[in-house]
C-alpha cells in the first residue's frame, strides 16, 4: 500500500502523521466552536458535525455528530465504521468533488484544543509485555520468581478507574500515598518519590457484549487504538499491591493521545504474537495476526526543555494482543461496553534502551539514565515533560498517533488543606 493522495496538500507529505490512509478520530474545540467530533487530515481537522449538517456525511440515522464524543458512532457498529471511513476517503481524496465547499469544514490543527475523544466507560489495564513483566518481577521478587506461574497462560490485568483517564496535555500532579520503604519499620504518608511512566497502547472497545466472546469476535469489537501513559507511583504500588494488585499507585492519572487510530488504518501493519512456550487454551489461541508493527518512542524534557529520547520499542513486543485480552476479559460473562478502554501493559523490548518504564530503565533507581542535557533520572522529577509518540511505517507514508504528553507538577504541600 502507498500514500493515498488528498486535496489537503499537507496530508500528502511522506512524514505527516495524518495522511488520507490514516483518518483518526478526535474531539476538538476552537475559540468559536464547542467541542465536537473531527478527523485529522494533514495539519487540518475535518469537522464532522459541520460536514454532516451540510450533507457531506450521511450515516443513515439523522444527525449523529451533535455530541462531543465518538461513543454513539462506535455503538452503530462495524458496518457504520466502514461506511464512515469510505465517505471520508471519498470526500478527502484528490478526486473529490466540491473541494472548495469542503474547505469550509476544515480547521487548522494549530488553532484547536483537543479533548478526550470518547467517554471512557470502564478502564482495565493489563500486564502483557513479557520483557516488562520479567524485569519488574525480577526487581520485586527475584529472578527465579519473576514471571508468576499464571503469566504464560492468561493475560493478567486489574480493573482501573475510568475517572482517572485524561487527554494528552493535561498536567499530572505528583501524588501522596502510603509508603513503606525497605528501611522503614512502619509506613508513612508522603509524596511519591518513585513516580514513573508506563508506555502502553490503549485498545478501545467499540461494541457491547454480554457473555464470553472468541478472540476473533473480540478483534471485531475493537474500534481503534491510542497511546497510553499509565502514570505509576512505584513506592505506593510496592507496599499496596499484595495480594489484590495495583490500586492507589495507579489511580492518579492515565494519559491517552487525542486521536483514535482506527483498526482499518492499521490493517496493513498486523503481525503475529511471539512464539509461545505453552500453547494457550483454545479460547485464547491466536487465530491470525492481531498485534501491529507500531514503532514507539518515549522522550523526556526537564522543565519542558532539551528533549531526550529515553526509550524506543515496538508494539509487536507484546505477548498477548488486545483481542486476546478482550476475549479473556469476557470469559466470566463480564459484560463489555462500547467505550471500554484496555491498556496493553507496559511495552518493553529485550534491550535496555527498549524499556517502557523508568523503573526498568534505571533498574529500580540503582542505575540512573543520563539525559542529553547531562541530567540523570531514576524516576520523574517535578517539571519533567514526558511525551509518548508512535507510528506505523508504510511504503512512503506513516500512520501516526499524535503525541501523548504530560508534565509533572509538584506534590501539594498538604493534600488535605482544602
Task: Based on the residue annotation, tell me whether 131 is a catalytic residue of this protein.
Answer: no
CB of 4 closer than 8 Å to CB of 11: no
Count Cβ atoms within 10 A of the Cβ of residue 271 and give its class: 0-12 exposed, 13-18 middle, 19 or more buried: middle
Helices (H), 259-298: 263-266
Distance of alpha carbon 320 from the chain centroid: 16
Query: Which region among 94-102, 224-232, 359-367, 401-409 touches Mn ion (by CB under 5 A)?
Result: 224-232
Select 26 or 175, whichever has its Cβ closest to Mn ion.
Answer: 175
Query: Which region among 181-189, 227-235, 325-333, 385-393 touches Mn ion (by CB under 5 A)?
Result: 227-235
Least distance to Mn ion, CB of residue 117, Å: 20
x-or-dash string of contact with Mn ion, 347-376, rule CB under 5 A? ------------------------------
Least distance to Mn ion, CB of residue 176, Å: 20
Distances (CA, A) of 386 to 102, 248, 404, 408: 36, 21, 8, 8
Query: Which region among 103-111, 117-125, 291-299, 356-364 touches Mn ion (by CB under 5 A)?
Result: 117-125
Query: How many residues in the shown chain lie near Mn ion by CB under 5 A?
Result: 3
Select 27 or 296, whichever has its Cβ closest to Mn ion.
Answer: 296
Which residue of 230, 235, 240, 340 would you call a contact of Mn ion, by CB under 5 A? 230
Least distance to Mn ion, CB of residue 224, Å: 19
Least distance to Mn ion, CB of residue 184, Å: 25
Distances (CA, A) of 284 to 169, 199, 277, 327, 333: 36, 24, 14, 7, 15
Least distance to Mn ion, CB of residue 318, Å: 12
| Annotated catalytic residue within 132, 153, 283, 353 | 132
Q: In b/e form, how buried is each residue of 374-397, taking b as 16+ CB within 10 angstroms?
A: eeebbbbbeebbbbbbbbbebeeb
- How many Cα atoms occupy the beta-carbon half-sphere of 266 within 13 Å? 28
Least distance to Mn ion, CB of residue 228, Å: 8
Query: Which region among 68-76, 105-113, 226-234, 349-357 touches Mn ion (by CB under 5 A)?
Result: 226-234
Select 200 or 403, whichever has its Cβ closest to Mn ion.
Answer: 200
Collect contacts of 244-249 with beta carbons under 8 A, ≥24 apart. Answer: 245/158, 246/125, 246/158, 248/175, 248/177, 248/178, 249/177, 249/192
- Which three cell numbers mark 390? 508512535
Report d(CA 116, CA 338) in Å as an integer.
Answer: 15
x-or-dash string of contact with Mn ion, 175-214, rule CB under 5 A? -----------------------x----------------
Centre a 10 Å sphere on the Cβ of residue 61 and count the other Cβ atoms it contains: 10
Q: Measuring CA to CA, which residue among 240, 225, 199, 245 is closest to residue 346?
A: 199
Report d(CA 344, CA 133) in Å as an integer.
Answer: 12
Which residue of 47, 72, 125, 196 would you call a contact of Mn ion, by CB under 5 A? 125
Select 230 or 340, whichever has its Cβ closest to Mn ion.
Answer: 230
Q: Which residue in the shown chain puts its C-beta closest to Mn ion?
A: 230
x-or-dash string of contact with Mn ion, 233-262, rule CB under 5 A? ------------------------------
Residues with catalytic function: 132
Note the residues at the interface with Mn ion (CB under 5 A).
125, 198, 230
Amino acid at each position: 500500500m502507498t500514500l493515498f493522495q488528498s486535496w489537503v496538500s499537507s496530508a500528502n507529505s511522506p512524514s505527516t502523521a495524518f495522511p488520507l490512509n490514516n483518518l483518526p478520530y478526535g474531539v476538538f474545540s476552537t475559540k468559536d466552536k464547542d467541542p465536537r467530533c473531527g478527523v485529522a487530515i494533514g495539519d487540518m481537522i475535518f469537522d464532522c458535525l459541520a460536514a454532516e449538517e451540510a450533507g457531506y456525511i450521511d450515516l443513515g440515522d439523522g444527525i449523529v455528530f451533535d455530541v462531543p464524543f465518538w461513543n454513539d458512532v462506535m455503538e452503530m457498529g462495524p458496518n457504520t465504521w466502514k461506511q464512515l471511513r469510505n465517505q471520508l476517503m471519498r470526500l478527502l481524496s484528490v478526486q473529490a468533488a466540491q473541494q472548495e465547499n469542503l474547505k469550509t469544514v476544515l480547521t487548522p490543527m494549530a488553532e484547536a484544543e483537543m479533548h478526550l475523544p470518547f467517554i471512557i466507560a470502564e478502564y482495565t489495564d493489563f500486564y502483557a509485555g513479557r520483557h516488562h513483566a520479567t524485569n519488574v518481577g525480577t526487581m520485586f521478587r527475584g529472578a527465579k520468581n519473576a514471571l508468576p506461574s499464571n503469566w504464560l497462560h492468561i493475560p493478567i490485568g486489574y480493573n482501573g478507574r475510568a475517572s482517572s483517564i485524561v487527554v494528552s496535555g493535561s498536567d499530572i500532579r505528583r501524588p501522596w500515598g502510603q509508603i513503606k520503604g525497605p528501611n522503614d519499620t512502619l509506613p508513612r504518608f508522603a509524596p511519591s518519590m518513585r513516580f514513573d511512566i508506563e508506555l502502553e497502547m490503549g485498545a478501545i472497545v467499540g461494541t457491547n457484549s454480554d457473555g464470553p466472546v472468541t478472540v476473533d469476535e473480540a478483534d471485531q469489537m475493537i474500534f481503534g487504538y491510542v497511546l497510553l501513559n499509565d502514570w505509576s507511583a512505584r513506592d505506593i504500588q510496592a507496599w499496596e499491591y499484595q495480594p489484590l494488585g495495583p490500586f492507589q499507585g495507579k489511580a492518579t492519572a492515565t494519559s491517552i493521545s487525542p486521536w483514535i487510530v482506527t483498526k482499518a488504518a492499521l490493517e496493513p501493519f498486523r503481525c503475529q504474537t511471539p512464539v509461545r512456550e505453552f500453547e494457550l487454551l483454545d479460547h485464547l489461541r491466536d487465530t491470525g495476526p492481531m498485534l501491529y508493527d507500531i514503532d514507539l518512542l518515549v522522550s523526556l524534557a526537564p522543565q519542558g526543555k532539551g528533549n531526550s529520547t529515553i526509550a524506543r520499542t515496538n508494539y509487536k513486543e507484546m505477548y498477548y494482543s488486545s483481542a486476546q485480552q478482550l476475549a479473556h476479559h469476557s470469559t466470566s460473562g463480564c459484560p463489555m461496553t462500547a467505550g471500554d478502554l484496555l491498556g496493553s501493559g507496559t511495552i518493553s523490548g529485550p534491550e535496555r534502551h527498549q524499556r517502557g518504564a523508568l523503573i526498568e530503565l534505571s533498574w529500580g533507581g540503582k542505575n540512573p539514565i543520563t539525559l542529553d542535557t547531562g541530567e540523570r533520572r531514576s524516576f520523574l522529577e517535578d517539571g519533567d515533560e514526558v511525551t509518548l509518540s508512535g507510528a506505523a511505517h508504510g511504503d512512503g507514508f506513516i500512520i501516526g498517533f499524535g503525541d501523548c504528553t504530560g508534565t509533572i507538577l509538584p506534590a501539594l504541600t498538604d493534600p488535605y488543606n482544602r
